[in-house]
Structure 1
């Protein structure tokens, strides 16, 4: 594969195309400055304005959220796994029906595997624009987002209505629900009982791992972060490894399905049969299946890279069941 053929499978951080109208809370004060990015796969955006960088199915989706300080993403749930790692900034993740069941603060490089079936949100509590990278299970990411009732109600007060077809309609632009399309129904109190209030011990203990700990574990071999034998023992339909300078190998290898490389720290030289390129933090590269390749740091200093590949496990509810 030539470098020109590979280029459409590389998304540079500086080329990311944001959408500011991706979700129902796009006009809600406190959430109206979010930028959402769909890097690989269709994602879960509710807006036709969302740009998809790489549409090739991988068995999972890759996205990102960029937010200025004090901007939050409203409470929602997914039917498949949702994993985040912090690329930049300082972030507070919270969960529960009202976002009060628990919270945890993540720093750069930290990762969180959020259980399916609970409401979750996140907020940039740093002092500058921050970015978190997201992995969603499945090619269709579980069919969209399930919003806490108050999010839908607040959005209606600011002109946005979500149709039962999963599309947004903005009264500020003169839009209204088409004939035959009803509003997305709000979850009833009985339906809400299916969304547990998990404790901090459950969410943090089973689903959060710190960057420095993973770096220490990955000094001589890649740190299996998420997987059947990972330090987060889960099978969400994909595996995540953290590769460090000490565990990177120059020998070529290949996978029987597409894999994704996402540098966290340092510059990485990726070589494949036919070409080579250098990736920087925030870049995302999709390596085709059955293509021999290698990735090694290209400069001195700290170096780490997240590696994601799909598995044959179903992408539905995982350790939360």
Structure 2
């Protein structure tokens, strides 16, 4: 594969194209400054304005959210896995029907495999613009987002209506639901009872991994974060490894499924027959299946990288208490 062909599978941080109208809370005060990025796969955006950088199926989606301080993402749920790691800033994640069942604060490099089937939201509590990267299970990411009822009601008060087909219409732009199309129904009280309310103590020990802990685990070999024998619970349809400057190997490697490389710290050099590329934090690279490559830091100093590869596992199990 030539360098030009591979460059088409690299999304540079500086080339990311944001969408500010991706979801139903795009006009809601406190959430109206969000930027959403769909990097690999179609994602779960509800807006036709969302730009997809790489549409090649991987068995999972890669996205990102960029938010200024005090900006939050409203309470929602997914039918498949949702894994976040903090690229930049300081973030508070919260969950439950009203967002008060539990919470955790993540720093740069920390990763959170949010349990499937619970309402969750997040906000930038840092002092500068922050960015979190996301891995969503499945090629279709579970068919969209399930919003807490109050989010849909708040959005309606600010001019946005979500159709039952998951498409947004903005009355501020003169848009209305097409004739015969109904708005997204609110979840009933009985339906809401099916969404668990795990506490912080239920979730954090089993679903959160800290950057410094992973650096220690990956001192001599890459650390399996999610997947078979992973540090975090669940086998969500993809596995995630954490690689550092100390555990990186110059040995050639390849995978049965496409691999996605996402640097957190430092610069990384990827070499394959036909070319090479250097990745920086915020860059995303898709390595084709069965293509041998080497992955090493391109300079001295601290370096860390998350790698995600699809598996044959189901795309995430509903949350359940630890055994």
Shorter-chain TM-score: what band? Answer: over 0.9
TM-score with structure 1 length normalisation? 0.99
d(CA) in 2 for partners of 1:225, 1:3: 30
**Match of 1:23?**
23
Q: CA deviation at 1:181?
A: 0.7
d(CA) in 2 for partners of 1:246, 1:177: 55
- Asked if structure 2 preserves the Cα contact closer than 8 Å seen for 1:86 and 1:109, the reply is yes
Runs of 4+ in 1 over 4 A off after TM superposition: none
d(CA) in 2 for partners of 1:227, 1:291: 22
**Match of 2:94?**
94
d(CA) in 1 for partners of 2:102, 2:234: 21
Q: CA deviation at 1:310?
A: 0.5
d(CA) in 1 for partners of 2:74, 2:46: 14
1:283 equivalent to 2:283? Answer: yes
**Match of 2:250?**
250
1:10 equivalent to 2:34? Answer: no
- Asked if structure 1 preserves the Cα contact closer than 8 Å seen for 2:170 and 2:176, the reply is yes
d(CA) in 2 for partners of 1:252, 1:95: 41
Q: CA deviation at 1:215?
A: 0.4
**Match of 2:38?**
38
Q: CA deviation at 1:226?
A: 0.7
Larger mean Cα displacement after TM superposition, 309-318 or 228-237:
309-318
State the Cα deviation string for residues 188-222 of structure 1 (Å, max 9, x = none).
Answer: 00100000111111111110110000000001010
**Match of 2:184?**
184
**Match of 1:107?**
107
- Gaps in structure 1 of 5+ consecutive residues: none
Question: Cα gap change, 1:310/1:140 in structure 2, threshold over 3 Å: closer, same or farther?
Answer: same
d(CA) in 2 for partners of 1:255, 1:266: 24
Paired residue secondary structure (1:232): coil
- Asked if structure 2 preserves the Cα contact closer than 8 Å seen for 1:117 and 1:320, the reply is no
- Asked if structure 1 preserves the Cα contact closer than 8 Å seen for 2:245 and 2:304, the reply is yes
- Asked if structure 2 preserves the Cα contact closer than 8 Å seen for 1:116 and 1:320, the reply is no
Question: Cα gap change, 1:310/1:213 in structure 2, threshold over 3 Å: closer, same or farther?
Answer: same
Paired residue secondary structure (1:98): coil
1:266 equivalent to 2:258? Answer: no
d(CA) in 2 for partners of 1:226, 1:201: 20
TM-score with structure 2 length normalisation? 0.98
**Match of 1:233?**
233
Map residues 55-134 of structure 1 onto 2, 5 A cutoff: 55-134=55-134
**Match of 1:213?**
213
**Match of 1:203?**
203
Map residues 282-301 of structure 1 onto 2, 5 A cutoff: 282-301=282-301
Aligned-CA RMSD value: 0.9
d(CA) in 2 for partners of 1:316, 1:167: 25
- Gaps in structure 2 of 5+ consecutive residues: none
d(CA) in 2 for partners of 1:37, 1:265: 20
d(CA) in 2 for partners of 1:283, 1:320: 34
**Match of 2:167?**
167
State the Cα deviation string for residues 218-272 of structure 1 (Å, max 9, x = none).
Answer: 0101011111201113200000000011110111111111000000000000001
State the Cα deviation string for residues 148-187 of structure 1 (Å, max 9, x = none).
Answer: 0000000000000000011000000000000111000000
Larger mean Cα displacement after TM superposition, 192-201 or 311-320:
311-320
d(CA) in 1 for partners of 2:48, 2:91: 28
Paired residue secondary structure (1:142): helix
d(CA) in 1 for partners of 2:60, 2:131: 20
d(CA) in 1 for partners of 2:230, 2:42: 27
**Match of 2:222?**
222
